[in-house]
Chain A
């Protein structure tokens, strides 16, 4: 019995971890390219959830369409915000701080718009994949399994894009050194719009993925952004494998921790653990100075 419990916890940990990793990847990407701590990132997750709610719940589309739609819609939205709000700030003094507060303002606006347009109720999204799979006592719903698989696919696609394509190389170049990249002919403004879009799209995808499992509400963003911060800190700022590892570590801590301790104790343990890790390795588990 004990061993199945561990597997059960492990699977839930993987699912939570992938979810956190997707959100944190976007946050980390945006920070790496533009130096912006995007406080509105949680709201992108929330809006992704609503895309899924409307497409699946109201208009009867299938699960995969809703995820692709969330990626496209939230990605475009992110690019719009980058162009209209954040990019003009990057040339001004104290840009890190002003863009942070602009993001906070944007988060409030999006949250209240969601309350006004969609209501402040928790919305349930009907699940597409019904039934469970029983693997020798370890029980997982098909829905969660599909979520895990799509999460892995998305992370792999992002990795492939960043490592193997011209555009991906340009993004990594800008993250390393903006000026040097510009000297090599990389159009930095286009790259920053693109990375902002991709970052937001990842959060949107995570929101749409999780919508059938958890419910959707306008206030999702606030909690999610805190988790994403933890993952970024844990894994290392701007490191993609770091965000993956950080996400999984946080997912496991939460999933296993809640098997043995009460929730507040788990969060206190998590924070103390992360602070200790940071004091030993300030750049995070896989980050570099």
Chain B
């Protein structure tokens, strides 16, 4: 076991080193544009995974990303906050709204919770696109969102105009997110979340207040959803209500499910696999892009319901079935 752990650590560090050195291989802005989006989506998928781990699917998760994005954008553009304050505040805003929603809706379980979050997502989209247009910008949304700037005593400064700089910022935050999620997973809290997802009534019989921990789990997930939203807004520069609609949550759910739920590496793997596939390989197929993408998702789920992360196990079980196989 110990040896395996060491191999994992070496593998991860090598991969991280590779990610930091990508700018030596290529400096193509498009590549870094996609890499940044992958990073943002990894944060988002991980935050979604936290909520999936307490056994619920939050269809409004993109709406929380939206709350983060709009909060951070409005703080920066209307109240001229620096990005570095606006981003944590966006996380806090998402978490607070999720607390309120959680208290109202987590009484409902399974499909009812799902449908409730669906309603909330649509409500947020309708409010953002049709009301208070002078603040939220209506259906066209907000444009010209500035990128952050940093200036540490004049020693180190950048305005993140280059995608490569932004890529490093996002990567640091991705590592931060994965670190936090891993720590939660390994802690008592993670154990309680797993217990609740396996059997809520059994968990409650051991004295765990399932409701309270579910609300907490949702708030943690939504907090990081807000982080993804804030990064998205300042990276892309344009946000519209449609970016955070119910349809926007389905792709990240697919990332998590295709990668594999449970472990933190599932969402990371799933996001990277599907986004690399669609942005670097399927893009040139035009209409067939979404078609093939859909087929791949259905096939993976149909034959690997535990996700890509179970690939080694699936291959092993197939090779056993083959004549002459181990």
Known A-B contacts A85-B302, A271-B123; A109 and B291 likewise in contact (beta carbons under 8 Å)? yes
Within 8 A of B (CB), among A200-254: 222, 226, 229-230, 232-233, 237
In chain A, positions 88-143 with a C-beta closer than 8 Å to chain B are 88-89, 92-98, 100-102, 104-109, 111-113, 115-116
**A233 surroundings in chain B (CB, below 8 A):** 115-116, 118-119
Given contacts A37-B114, A89-B305, A93-B306, contact A105 B298 (CB under 8 A): yes
C-beta contact mask, A239-278 vs B, less than 8 Å → 1, else 0? 0000000000000000000000000110110011011001
Q: With A and B bound together, what is the CA distance between A70 and B301 in angstroms? A: 29
Does chain B have a CB within 8 A of A183?
A: no
Give bound CA distance, A37 to B117, whole Å: 14
| A57 proximal to B (CB < 8 A) | no
- The residue among A102, A230, A267 with the most chain B CB atoms within 10 A of its own CB is A102
User: Which residue of the partner chain B has the closest CB to A106?
Assistant: B298
The tally of residues in B whose CB lies under 8 Å from a CB in A reads 43
A104 touching B115 by the CB < 8 A rule? no
| Chain A residues with CB below 8 A from B179, complex form | none
Besides A108-B290, A264-B131, 5 other A-B contacts (C-beta < 8 A): A102-B298, A106-B294, A108-B293, A111-B290, A271-B123
Report how many A-B pairs have Cβ atoms within 8 Å: 121
A273 to B288, CA, bound (A): 40
Of the residues A88, A105, A274, A278, contact of B295 by C-beta under 8 Å: A105
Interface residues of A (CB under 8 A from B): 31, 35, 37, 39, 85, 88-89, 92-98, 100-102, 104-109, 111-113, 115-116, 222, 226, 229-230, 232-233, 237, 264-265, 267-268, 271-272, 274-275, 278-279, 282-283
What are 14 A-B pairs with beta-carbon distances under 8 A?
A85-B298, A92-B305, A92-B306, A97-B253, A97-B257, A102-B297, A102-B298, A108-B291, A112-B288, A115-B287, A116-B291, A233-B119, A272-B123, A275-B123
Q: Does B84 contact A (CB under 8 A)?
A: no
**Top 7 A-B pairs, shortest CB-CB distance:** A264-B130, A108-B294, A105-B297, A109-B294, A112-B291, A92-B305, A105-B298
Assembled-state Cα–Cα distance A279/B116 (Å): 10
Q: Which residue of A lies closest to B291 (CB)?
A: A112
Query: When chains A and B are docked, how far (Å) is the Cα of A267 from the Cα of B125?
Result: 11
Q: Which residue of A lies closest to B302 (CB)?
A: A85
Query: Is A101's CB under 8 angstroms from B115's CB?
Result: no
CB of B52 closer than 8 Å to a CB of A: yes
- B126 contacts the other chain (Cβ, under 8 Å)? yes
Interface centre among B122, B254, B298 (most CB of A within 10 A): B298
Q: Which of B247, B291, B294 has the most CB of A within 10 A?
A: B294
Q: A279 to chain B: which residues have CB within 8 Å? A: 104
On whether A112 and B115 interact (CB within 8 A), knowing A39-B250, A97-B57, A226-B246, the answer reads no
**Which chain B residues lie closer than 8 Å to A226 at the CB level?**
122, 246
- Whether, in the assembled complex, B111 has its beta carbon less than 8 Å from a beta carbon of chain A, the answer is yes
B110 close to chain A: CB less than 8 A: yes
Nearest A residue to B297 via CB reads A105
Chain B, residues 94-116, CB within 8 Å of chain A (1/0): the string is: 00000000001001101110111
Residues on the A chain within 8 Å of B12, using CB: none
A105 and B48 alpha carbons, distance in the complex (Å): 18
B261, CB-defined interface residue at 8 Å: yes
- Measured CB to CB, the closest approach of chain A to B295, in angstroms, equals 6
Give A102 to B305 CA distance when docked, in angstroms: 10
Least distance between B62 CB and chain A CB atoms (Å): 13
Q: Does B127 contact A (CB under 8 A)?
A: yes
Smallest Cβ distance from B54 to chain A, in angstroms?
A: 13
Residues of A within 8 A of B115 (CB): 229, 232-233, 237
The distance in angstroms between the C-alpha atoms of A268 and B306, with both chains bound, is: 38
In whole angstroms, what is the CA distance A229 to B116 when docked? 10
A94 touches B301 (CB 8 A): no
Q: How far is the CB of A277 from chain B (nearest CB, A)?
A: 10
In the complex, what's the smallest C-beta–C-beta distance from B299 to chain A, in angstroms? 9
Chain A residues with Cβ below 8 Å from B289 are 112
Q: Is B129 an interface residue (CB 8 A)?
A: yes
A282 CB to closest chain B CB (Å) equals 5
Q: In the complex, how many angstroms separate the beta carbon of A16 from the nearest chain B beta carbon?
A: 18
Closest Cβ–Cβ distance, residue B160 to chain A (whole Å):
34
CA distance in complex: A180, B294 (Å):
36
Residues B127 and A268 in contact, CB atoms below 8 Å apart: yes
A222 touches B295 (CB 8 A): no
